[in-house]
Amino acid sequence: MAVLKMKPGIHEVGAGDWDRTLFDELIPLPDGTSYNSFLIEGSEKTALIDTVDPSKEEILLENLSYIGVKNIDYVISHHAEQDHSGSIPIIITVYPKAKVVTNKKCKTMLMDHLHIKEDRFLVVEDGEELSLGDRTLQFHITPWVHWPETMVTLLKEDKVLFSCDFFGSHKASSKLFMEDKGQTYQAAKRYYAEIMMPFRSPIKSNIKKLEELDFDMIAPSHGPVYNDPDFIIDAYKKWTSDDVKNEVIVPYISMHGSTEKMVIHFVDYLMERGMKVTPYNLTTTDLGQFAMGIVDAATIVIGTPTVLVGPHPKMVYAASLVNALRPKTKFLSVIGSYGWGGRATQILEDNLNNLQAEMIEPIMVKGHPTRKDMKKVERLADEIMKKHKEAGL
Ligand code: FEO
């Protein structure tokens, strides 16, 4: 149990999840996560901003009890995903006067996922306000960050923007506010890569919309609160822009060393020519680290052996993940080996069809690569450097 004071009458009453190692049974969490829930006490009404994952509902209830909360009038639900909404049912049971305040779409999703009864809702529109007495909540619909029903709340008088997943980071911490900018940047970029990257376009328009508002603090429902909003807004603008970096990312797997030999030669050749290049051996790499790498690199070159007739199954999995995350990659290629044939490159290309990237001719070699094969690898590296130059990188 821990209650952290943000401002007089505003407390963070959620929970840290220090031991959680996976999100959505997919995303590695090297720093755990937090489910931030904020209690706002106005002169007339009290509001709770989001709740916590149901596994931590006891902590939320204890925190509310610890600071003596007798009544909650409104539970603001920004997003129906259960890590924020999953404890709404227990909250509205313990605090029977509480209304669940959300938009129309989120209401439907909360009814579907949590079976909350219709008469417990207060539906708000984009821009609508709700008075707590001396404090005012103003709601803004921000769809697709990262579900269709997402919204944010501006606490007008205090100039705090409560943003739920938007601008968040998976990081458990004993501190409410951001302390180490470098660490926070990395955690927020990892979060963006894994959760937000497929939604670059709606994020850009939502940022434009939020920039019209007057706030000097952003309080997401995961990770630290930003008392320097420009820090995270500028980072998001960079990540969602069409700009890419002069960088090559090389996810690879090798079973008997042939693909690895090609990958090492490719990486060394580029390094010697001053290029930024990062190999990720997918048998050991944390996929979140790899996802961060593809946020803004111009090129991805996949290294894979052929298993039966296709790419290594782990590479098919990684390609499907990249395809789902839709990075702004400009160029793609594949290098690797085969024993007697196969369709590894075609299968990978099919698995990456969401990317609007140019495929540079892959190099698949039979057996262990020869000197001649290594020359082909060098030619691929030269071609990529040329493409980067032509793209102004
Ligand atoms: Fe943190 Fe989309 O839930």
- Is-contact 170 223, C-beta < 8 A? yes
Ligand 1: does its nearest atom lie under 6 Å from the Cβ of 78? no
Q: Please list the residues that pair with 197 across neighbouring strands.
A: none
Closest-CA residue to 207 (of 177, 166, 170, 243): 166
Enter the pTM of the model.
0.95
Give the model's confidence band at 87: pLDDT under 50 very low, under 70 low, under 90 confident, else very high: very high
The reported pLDDT for the residue numbered 26 is 83
What percent of the chain lies above the pLDDT cut of 70? Answer: 100
Q: Which atom of ligand 1 is nearest to the CA of 168?
A: 1
User: Is there a contact between 38 and 13 (Cβ–Cβ < 8 Å)?
Assistant: yes
What is the reported pLDDT for 161? 98
**CA 145, CA 200: separation in Å to the nearest integer?**
9
The pLDDT of residue 24: 85
Using a 6 Å cutoff on CB, does residue 84 contact ligand 1? yes
pLDDT for residue 61 is more than 80: yes
CA 48 to ligand 1 centroid distance, Å: 17
Distances, alpha carbon 200 to alpha carbons 147, 207, 220, 280, 390, in Å: 13, 11, 18, 24, 25
The pLDDT of residue 17 is 94
Between CA 109 and CA 203 the distance in angstroms is 21
> What whole-number percentage of the chain has pLDDT above 90?
97
Specify the ligand 1 atom closest to the Cα of 165: 1
What is the CA(147)–ligand 1 centre distance, in A?
Answer: 9
196 residue type, one letter:
M
Considering only CA atoms, which residue is closest to atom 2 of ligand 1?
81
**Shortest-distance Cα residue to atom 1 of ligand 1:** 165
Q: Which atom of ligand 1 is nearest to the CA of 222?
A: 1
- pLDDT number for residue 379: 98
The C-alpha atoms of residue 238 and residue 64 are separated, in whole angstroms, by 38
The number of C-alpha atoms within 13 Å of 392 and in the hemisphere containing its C-beta is 3
pLDDT score of 342: 85
Q: What is the tens place of the pLDDT at every residue in 159-184?
A: 999 999 999 999 999 999 999 999 99
Q: What residue ranges define each of the domains in the chain, with the CATH number in brackets?
A: 4-240 (3.60.15.10), 248-388 (3.40.50.360)
Calculate the average pLDDT of the chain. Answer: 97
Q: What is the mean pLDDT of residues 70-75?
A: 97
| CB 81 near ligand 1, within 6 Å | yes
> Mean per-residue pLDDT for 368-391?
98
Taking alpha carbons only, the member of 266, 267, 303 closest to residue 283 is: 303
CB 265 within 8 A of CB 363: no
pLDDT above 90 for 205 = yes
Closest C-alpha among 149, 224, 220, 140 to residue 179: 224
| Band (381; pLDDT cuts 50, 70, 90) | very high
CA distances to 50, 106, 208, 221 from 14, rounded to whole Å, are 9, 21, 29, 9
Q: Which string of b and e fits 361-391 if b means at least 16 CB within 10 Å?
A: ebbbbeeebeeebbebbeebbeebbebbeee
Check pLDDT > 80 for residue 275.
Answer: yes
Counting atoms of ligand 1 from 1, which one is nearest the CA of 147? 2
266-to-112, 278, 285, 291, 299 alpha-carbon distances in Å: 51, 11, 19, 21, 13
pLDDT higher than 90, residue 1:
no
The response to whether residue 83 sits with its C-beta less than 6 Å from ligand 1 reads: yes
How much distance in Å is there from the Cα of 81 to the middle of ligand 1?
5
C-alpha 201 – ligand 1 centre gap (Å)? 19
The string of pLDDT tens digits covering residues 346-376 is 999 999 999 999 999 999 999 999 999 999 9
Q: State if residue 79 touches ligand 1 by the CB under 6 angstroms criterion.
A: yes
pLDDT at 307 over 80: yes
Split at pLDDT 50, 70, 90, the class of 25 is: confident
Which residues share a beta bridge with 296? Answer: none
- pLDDT for res 183: 95
What is the greatest pairwise CA distance in the chain? 79
pLDDT higher than threshold 80 for residue 88: yes
Render pLDDT for 105-161 as a digit per residue (tens, 0 to 9).
999 999 999 999 999 999 999 999 999 999 999 999 999 999 999 999 999 999 999
Q: Which two structure tokens, joined as six digits, stand for 22?
A: 């996976």
Residue 96, CA distances (Å) to 75, 103, 348 in order:
11, 21, 54
Atom of ligand 1 nearest to the CA of 150: 2
In this structure, the residue with its CA closest to atom 3 of ligand 1 is 81
Yes or no: say if 85 and 50 are a contact pair by the CB < 8 Å rule: yes
165 lines ligand 1 (CB under 6 A): yes
Ligand 1 atom at minimal distance to the Cα of residue 164: 1
Q: Computed over its alpha carbons, how large is the radius of gyration of the chain? A: 24
Q: Amino acid letter at 316?
A: V
